[in-house]
């Protein structure tokens, strides 16, 4: 349903028909309903058009319909039909949030003019929404960060994407392993093919095997129809084996065979199917250690780890903390349609003192909470945050804190030395000494 449609609601058949006829003569697409309830069953927030409804109807009247539609979507234009000269009714329609009103008997030019305005407005709203979504999804896939570690990582991803070799991504929880895997896929020549992710820890061993390899009809009792597995599904694309350390030893042998021979057999079949895939695996563990300990198959480890990508924890890239925080605060505030609270120095301070065991994922939660409640942490978590801080010594905390404050000041001053030392209330020479001590380069802060 791509053409804008006008939904007409009136319990009187003659009025309904008259309206529909007028609109159709003007080449509009229409649907008509005799009751508000029937109309509501069809309308939703993606409705590409407007609604014209009578006010006086049995059961659910026009005002009630208007209220229900506003719950669905505040930007859905609803035009209410009032009796001729019924000023009170017209006023109350507008006051209740109707887009406009038309009087019975209808004047054709007036009707068409109101309808056209309503449809134009609706189209604009939908276009804006689409644009916003497009921007949101586009950004979702970008790796944000300006620290040298992240810049180097992005370059490495671009290089590795073209290399088409199996890749192992390691990093703590929430550091962006899946994001990196997607970027590898998107920047590779396989990007027209599928990206198929499977979490190896999520399923028991037997189900995992079916997930990966698929089965023929009748392979086991419940297998009524044949089913394609993830390996096959990922043909000409990338398969992402998340939490790969959880692969049981027995299944590891079978996966190893796939990697070596680039062929699979569905369960219950002995026919080999050629597959062309790139395997990206991710782990939170030290897979090398696990394979040395015999917990993970060593030969599989070497197959997967042709190249390795290490994602650093957030606490090792201090500079990105405020950048990411700002980014996610902006995102959350546009998603929730709330103006973001100010990022005071106190807020930045608190963020910088934290150790971020949950890394970027934790930071996203904190940013959303900040937008919604103007607080950073809830009381239950406060103890953890404080204990983080207690773990390191005072001098090292002060060092780190100082570095972060200078970075923040540099960033606010866009790299200007004068504005930075003035802002911090220190002497020019002191600032230079501190930049050298912390290895900070003001040029990094000069863009945007
Ligand atoms: N550098 C970054 N820039 C923007 N978003 C990021 C960045 N790093 C991580 N994210 C976002 O943080 C969230 C967590 O990232 P992701 O799921 O990739 O982490 P993970 O390492 O796979 O975590 P886990 O080990 O818990 O599965 C995602 O929403 C991701 O988009
Ligand atoms: Mg993940």
Distance 251 CA to ligand 1 centre (A): 27
Which atom of ligand 1 is found nearest the CA of 364? Answer: 12
pLDDT score of 1:
45
Nearest to 244 by CA among 290, 278, 207: 290
The SS3 of residue 239 is strand
| Cα–Cα distance for residue pair 40/19, rounded to 1 Å | 19
Distance 356 CA to ligand 1 centre (A): 13
pLDDT score of 447:
61
Distance 90 CA to ligand 2 centre (A): 55
Residue 312, token pair as written in the block: 């650093």
Nearest to 166 by CA among 302, 274, 263: 302
The reply to whether ligand 1 has any atom less than 6 angstroms from the CB of 175 is yes
pLDDT score of 138:
54
Instruction: Provide the CATH number for the domain formed by 5-138 in this structure.
Output: 3.40.50.2300
pLDDT score of 405:
83
Q: Are strands 5-9 and 49-54 parallel, antiparallel or unpaired?
A: parallel
| Cα–Cα distance for residue pair 190/194, rounded to 1 Å | 8
pLDDT score of 416:
92
Distance 176 CA to ligand 2 centre (A): 7
Compute CA distances 111 → 118, 167, 224, 389, 398, whole Å. 11, 63, 58, 67, 70
Mutate to test the pocket of ligand 1, among 146, 176, 285 (most ligand atoms within 8 A of CB): 176
The reply to whether ligand 1 has any atom less than 6 angstroms from the CB of 360 is yes
Contact 303, 256 (CB under 8 A): yes
Which atom of ligand 1 is found nearest the CA of 179? Answer: 18
Element (H, E) at 228: strand 227-228
Homologous superfamily of 148-312: P-loop containing nucleotide triphosphate hydrolases (3.40.50.300)
Cis peptide before 105 (omega within 30 of 0): yes
The reply to whether ligand 1 has any atom less than 6 angstroms from the CB of 323 is no
The one-digit pLDDT tens for each residue of the chain (448 residues) are: 468 999 999 999 999 999 999 999 999 999 999 999 999 999 998 899 999 999 999 999 999 999 999 998 989 999 999 888 888 888 888 998 999 999 988 899 999 999 999 999 998 888 878 877 766 555 556 899 888 889 899 999 999 999 999 999 999 999 999 999 999 999 999 999 999 999 999 888 888 999 999 998 877 777 678 889 999 999 999 999 999 999 988 899 999 999 999 999 999 888 999 999 999 999 999 999 999 999 999 999 999 999 999 999 998 888 889 889 999 999 999 988 888 888 877 788 788 888 899 999 999 999 998 998 877 765 555 555 555 555 566 777 778 778 878 887 888 888 899 999 999 999 999 999 999 998 888 887 776 4
Distance 138 CA to ligand 1 centre (A): 15
The reply to whether ligand 1 has any atom less than 6 angstroms from the CB of 361 is yes
Which atom of ligand 1 is found nearest the CA of 327? Answer: 4
Long-range contacts formed by 436-443: CB under 8 A, 24+ apart:
438/399, 438/402, 438/403, 438/406, 440/403, 440/406, 440/407, 440/410, 442/410, 442/415, 442/416, 442/417, 443/415
Q: Are strands 227-228 and 214-215 parallel, antiparallel or unpaired?
A: antiparallel
Contact 214, 229 (CB under 8 A): yes
| Cα–Cα distance for residue pair 276/238, rounded to 1 Å | 9
One fold for both 5-138 and 148-312?
A: yes
The reply to whether ligand 1 has any atom less than 6 angstroms from the CB of 174 is yes
Give this prediction's pTM: 0.62
Ligand nearest to the CA of 285: 1
Q: What residue spans define the domains of the chain?
A: 5-138, 148-312, 315-445
- Name the residue at shortest CA distance from atom 18 of ligand 1: 176
């Amino acid at each position: 349903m791509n053409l804008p449609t006008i939904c007409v609601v009136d319990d009187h058949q003659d009025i309904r028909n008259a309206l529909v006829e007028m609109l159709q003569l003007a080449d509009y697409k229409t649907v008509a309903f005799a009751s508000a309830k029937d109309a509501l069953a069809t309308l939703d927030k993606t409705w590409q058009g407007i609604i014209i409804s009578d006010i006086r109807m049995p059961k659910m009247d026009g005002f009630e319909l208007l209220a229900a539609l506003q719950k669905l979507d505040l930007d859905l234009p609803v035009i209410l039909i009032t009796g001729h000269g019924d000023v009170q009714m017209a006023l109350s329609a507008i006051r209740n949030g109707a887009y406009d009103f038309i009087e019975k008997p209808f004047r054709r030019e007036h009707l068409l003019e109101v309808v056209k305005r309503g449809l134009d407005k609706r189209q604009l709203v939908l276009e804006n929404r689409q644009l916003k979504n497009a921007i949101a999804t586009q950004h979702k896939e970008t790796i944000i960060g300006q620290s040298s570690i992240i810049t180097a990582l992005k370059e490495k991803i671009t290089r590795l994407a073209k290399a088409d070799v199996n890749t192992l991504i390691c990093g703590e929880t929430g550091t962006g392993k899946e994001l990196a895997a997607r970027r590898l896929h998107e920047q590779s020549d396989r990007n027209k093919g599928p990206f198929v992710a499977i979490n190896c820890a999520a399923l028991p061993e037997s189900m995992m095997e079916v997930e990966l390899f698929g089965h023929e009809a009748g392979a086991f009792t419940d297998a009524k129809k044949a089913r394609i597995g993830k390996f096959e599904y990922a043909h000409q694309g990338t398969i992402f084996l998340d939490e790969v350390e959880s692969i049981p030893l027995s299944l590891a042998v079978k996966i190893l065979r796939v990697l070596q021979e680039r062929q699979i057999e569905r369960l219950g079949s002995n026919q080999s199917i050629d597959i062309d895939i790139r395997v990206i695996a991710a782990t939170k563990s030290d897979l090398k250690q696990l394979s040395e300990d015999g917990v993970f198959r060593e030969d599989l480890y070497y197959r997967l780890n042709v190249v390795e990508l290490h994602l650093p924890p957030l606490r090792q890239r201090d500079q990105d903390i405020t950048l990411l925080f700002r980014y996610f605060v902006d995102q959350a505030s546009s998603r929730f349609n709330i103006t973001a609270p100010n990022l005071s120095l106190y807020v930045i301070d608190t963020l910088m003192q934290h150790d971020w065991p949950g890394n970027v994922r934790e930071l996203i939660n904190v940013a959303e909470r900040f937008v919604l409640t103007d607080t950073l942490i809830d009381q239950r978590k406060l103890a953890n945050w404080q204990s983080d801080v207690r773990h390191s010594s005072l001098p090292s905390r002060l060092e780190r804190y100082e570095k972060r404050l200078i970075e923040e000041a540099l960033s606010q001053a866009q790299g200007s030395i004068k504005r930075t030392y003035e802002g911090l209330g220190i002497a020019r020479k002191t600032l230079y000494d501190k930049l050298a001590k912390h290895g900070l380069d003001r040029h990094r802060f000069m863009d945007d």
